[in-house]
Every structure is written in C-alpha cells, then in structure tokens.
Amino acid sequence: MLKQIEGSFAVAEAIALCRPEVICAYPITPQTHIVERLSELVRTGDVGNCQYINVESEFAALSVAIGASAAGARAYTATSSQGLLFMAEAVYNASGLGLPIVMTIGNRAIGAPINIWNDHSDSMALRDAGWIQLYAETNQDAVDLHIQAFRLAEQLSVPVMVCEDGFILTHACEQVDMPDSEQVDSYLPPFEPVQVLDPAEPITMGAMVGPEAFTEVRYLAHHKHLRAIEVIPELSTEFEHIFGRNTGGLIEPYRSEDAETVIVALGSVVGTIKDVVDEMRDEGVSLGAVKVVSFRPFPLLALREALQNAKRVIVVEKCLADGLGGIVVGSVRMSLRGTSTPVYTIIAGLGGRAITKKSLRRAFNEAVADRLEDPHFLDLDWKVIDHELARSQEKRRSGPIAENILRELGLVGGKPV
C-alpha cells in the first residue's frame, strides 16, 4: 500500500510488522522518531506481544536486546552516532554471542565537535564489529531492508544493522509502499533460536575462550559473513516474489555495465549520484554507479564483477579515516585486487554538509580527466583551512578551532585573535 510517510515512521511500522518481542531504546537524534513511533505502536497493541523498555543508556539498550535475544525473543533497538559508540562494547558482544538482533542506525556524525547531522562516521566506526551492515538509499529501501534483516539475522544467528541516513531519510516524507502483515508473516517466520536460555535445557552462554580456540571462534564468525554473501541475494529474490519489489541484495549497479567511470557509494547519496550519472551520460560522459547495499559483509566478488569493465572507479563516502582518507575505498580497492583500475576517493557530506549535484559533477569531471587528487574533500573551504593553519602556527593557545572557523566565516561576531 502506497503511503506518504516520514521515513522514521515507515521504518517503525515496518519493524512493528516484523513482530519483535522486545524493543529497547534510548533517544538520540535522528533516531528518535523511530522509537517514539514504536513506543506508540507497542502501546496500541499493534506490535502484538511486545515489551518496550525505556532504558537509561544505549549501552543498556543493546544489553537488554542481548538478554532478550539470548532468551529467545526477537529483539530490536535503534541508535545513532554517540549512542552507537556508547554501546560499542555491547555491539561486539552481540555478534560474538551470535545473537540475531536488528538495529537501525540513523546515521549521524560523531563529535567533537558535536553535530547532529548526517554522515557515516558512526556505523563505519563499528564496521568490523561482526555485524552485518546494510545501507538504505531510500525509505523504501529502509523499510524493505529491515524486513530482510530479521530473516537474515535469524537465519545466520548474526546481528544486523540497517543504516539509513539521518534526517535525509529518517525525517524525509516520501511515498513508501508499505507491506502488509500477511506479506511479512509469510516472509518472516517466528524466531527459532539456535541457542536459548531455557531452564528445561540449560546451557552456558558467553564462555571465556582462550588462545586454544579463539581463532576458530573468530573464523566461524567470518564464515557466517561469507555465508551471508550467498544468503543476502537469495533473500532479496525471495522478497521480490512476495513483495514484488527488487530491493536488498549485495549491490545494485546503475548504468555501470558499459561505463568507463563507475562511482561507488552507499546510502542516500546514491540517489543524487544516479541523477548526476543520468545528466552526465546525457552529456556524453561514460558514467555509471554501483550502490553497495551490504557493506559488511563486503561483496568483493560481486563488486569486482560489476567494476570489471570500468576504466576508473570513484568512491564517494561520508566518512573519513584521518591521515588515510576514505574507509569504504579500502574495501573497494580490495575487490579490485590485481587490476590496475585507478580508484579515487571523494570524502563528502561530513557532518551533514549538503552534497550538491554541482559539486559532484565538478569532482567527477576532474576524475574522468584523471586530475582528481586522492582523497578529494568535496567542497572543502581551503581559505578557512589555510588561515586557521597559519594562525595556529603563530600562537600555541589559539583557541577552539571550531569556534575560530565560525568567526572566520563571519557566522559569529568578531575576528579570531
């Protein structure tokens, strides 16, 4: 059923259709609308037999989910940014214990400086925490990926993060084709845990494992992700059968087969990139794009295949590894191992800076001309940087950088001293 709906609400309603038994949440922008709506849905009885727990921290939120999942309940939580980092220890723990929790990440930058706007620093910080990470381009994606996420998680006993861009998706009102409960029920069977805390059949969960078996334990986790590479497309196909939509999968190529230059990206920016591709194609530039849906596990082979005809690859990503450059690009390069295809990195949209078509076009053109520096910081204000670097060179106690920049930009009064 098509519905004009805010992204967060769409996701909340999709979660409700998945009949989680325990939802726990701690508020943080931009995740708030999801959990607010869910609290309502639980109270109105729309989620069925579900316990909604308002916890005192994200650490507790995921811990509650861990306990719930270990006791055999379908468990869900959502967070963003600082919240994800605050629960970091539990993030690893959930995957280490093989608990199929689904968590929405409303992607947001990490402070300091504190910033509520979108980028991918949060989920990227925990990209190797053993969770599967699926990135949504649209709110339709977000809805569909959540439903697939529960199937995937429970089939493999591995937790899944569904990442959607804060504000850009969470707070955007768009048309979403909302599934109905029959569809979801036929796609998502009740949770059958492989291990459960049950007095009738007691087990010990979370043992201490030393060097004698730790590598094997870790390998088995790796193996699960390798399995996920196979399972994700299968689930996507099955999803299409029931819901009539082709969403999910590992990657989604867009006009890339014959493109000389292929842009790789994840999340909502892919939409903008597709527009730019269309425009530039019209102008005769051989451009295509590949959307990475599953960032963890990273679809090395699928991507390699998708990029095999490309002469160059550009990775657009909303995160930064200081001193190195991109994060996503590392994985992309790995998928191109042994080829000589040049790969460019564009760092864009940090802390919510708008990624405009215009800026993208400019950068893409530079890349196509093989003139783009790597990494390239989209729309970086060099004037500010140069001035600030010079100033701090002069004076050791030069004051807070962020504030100085704001002054420099004239956004707050007075010039920096």
Partner 1 sequence: MQKPFAIALDVGTSLANLTGSWRTERPVYVDLLPPCNHACPAGENIQAWLYHAEEGDYESAWRKLMESNPLPAVHGRVCYRPCETACNRGQLDQTVSIHAIERFLGDEALKRGWTIEPGAPTGKHVLVIGAGPSGLSAAYHLRRLGHEVTVHDAGPLAGGMMRFGIPKYRLPRDILDGEIARIVGMGVTVKLDSPVTDIPEQMKKGGFDAAFVAVGAHLAKRTDIPAREAGKIVDAVSLLRGMETGAEPPKLGRRVVIYGGGNTALDAARTAKRLGASEALVVYRRTQEQMPAHDVELEEALDEGVILHWLRTIKQIDGTTFTVEKMKIDENGWPQPTGEYEELEADTLILALGQSVDTSFMKTIPGVEIADDGVIDVDETMMTGYRGLFAGGDMVPAERTVTVAVGHGKKAALNIDAYLRGEQRELPEKHPAADFERLNTWYYTDADKTVQPTLDLIRRRTTFDEIHGGLDETNALFEARRCLSCGNCFECDNCYGFCPDNAVIKLGPGRRFEFNYDFCKGCGLCAAECPCGAIVMEPETF
Partner 2 sequence: MSQRIKFYQTGTLTVGNRLLDAKDRTVQATLDRGNSLTSGHRACQGCGEALGARYVVDAAMRWADNRVVAVNATGCLEVFSTPYPESSWQVPWIHSLFGNAPAVATGVRAALRAKGRTDVKVLAQGGDGGTVDIGFGCLSGMFERNDDVLYVCYDNEAYMNTGVQRSSRTPPAARTATTPPVGNSSGNVFGQGKNAALIAMAHNIPYVATASVADLHDLEEKVTKAMGIDGARYIHVHVPCPLGWGSPPHDTIRLARLAVETGLFALFEAEDGEVSDVTHIRRRLPVEEYLKPQRRFAHLFRPQTDADAIGQIQSIADRNIEKFGLIGRNG
Q: Which is nearer to partner 2, 206 or 244 (CB)?
A: 206
The site partner of 380 among partner 1, partner 2, none (C-beta below 5 to 8 Å per kind) is none
Q: Starting at the earlier edge strand, list the strands of the sheet with 102-107.
A: 51-54, 22-25, 75-79, 102-107, 160-165, 132-135, 294-296
SS3 track for 321-356: ECCCECCHHHHHHHHCCCCCCCEEEEECCHHHCCCC
Choose the one of partner 2, partner 1, none that binds residue 157, judging by a C-beta under 5 to 8 angstroms depending on kind: partner 1
**Binding span for partner 2 by CB under 8 A among 86-94, 157-165, 176-184, 218-226:** 86-94
Which tokens sit at 160? 């899944």
Q: How far is the CB of 19 from partner 1 (least distance, A)?
A: 23
* Contact with partner 1 (CB under 8 A) among 213, 324, 354, 412: 213
Mapped onto helix, strand or coil, the DSSP state of residue 142 is: helix
Q: CA nearest 250: which of 291, 289, 290, 294?
A: 294
Separation CA 247–CA 255 (nearest Å) = 17
Site for partner 2 (CB under 8 A): how many residues? 45
- Residue 53 contacts which entry, partner 1, partner 2, none (Cβ below 5-8 A, type-dependent): partner 2
Binding flag, residue 211, partner 1 (CB under 8 A): no
Q: Is 79 helix (H, G, I), strand (E, B) or coil?
A: strand
Binding mask 213-252 for partner 2 (x = CB under 8 A): x---------------------------------------
Residue 381 identity (one-letter amino acid): D
Q: Which stretch binds partner 1 (CB under 8 A): 13-21, 59-67, 215-223, 360-368?
A: 215-223
Query: Contacts with partner 1 in 97-116 (CB under 8 A)?
Result: 97-98
**Residue span 11-30 as binding mask against partner 2, x where in contact by CB under 8 A, dash where not:** ----------xx-x------
Q: What is the Cα Rg of the chain in Å?
A: 22
| Alpha carbon distance 194, 190 (integer Å) | 13
Spatial contact of 339 and 333, defined as CB atoms under 8 Å apart: no
CA–CA separation, 216 vs 220, rounded Å? 6
Which residues here bind partner 2, judged by CB under 8 A? 21-22, 24, 49-51, 53-57, 59-61, 63-73, 75, 89-90, 93, 97, 197-199, 201-210, 212-213
Binding site for partner 1 (CB under 8 A): 96-98, 157, 194-196, 201-207, 209, 213-214, 216-217, 220
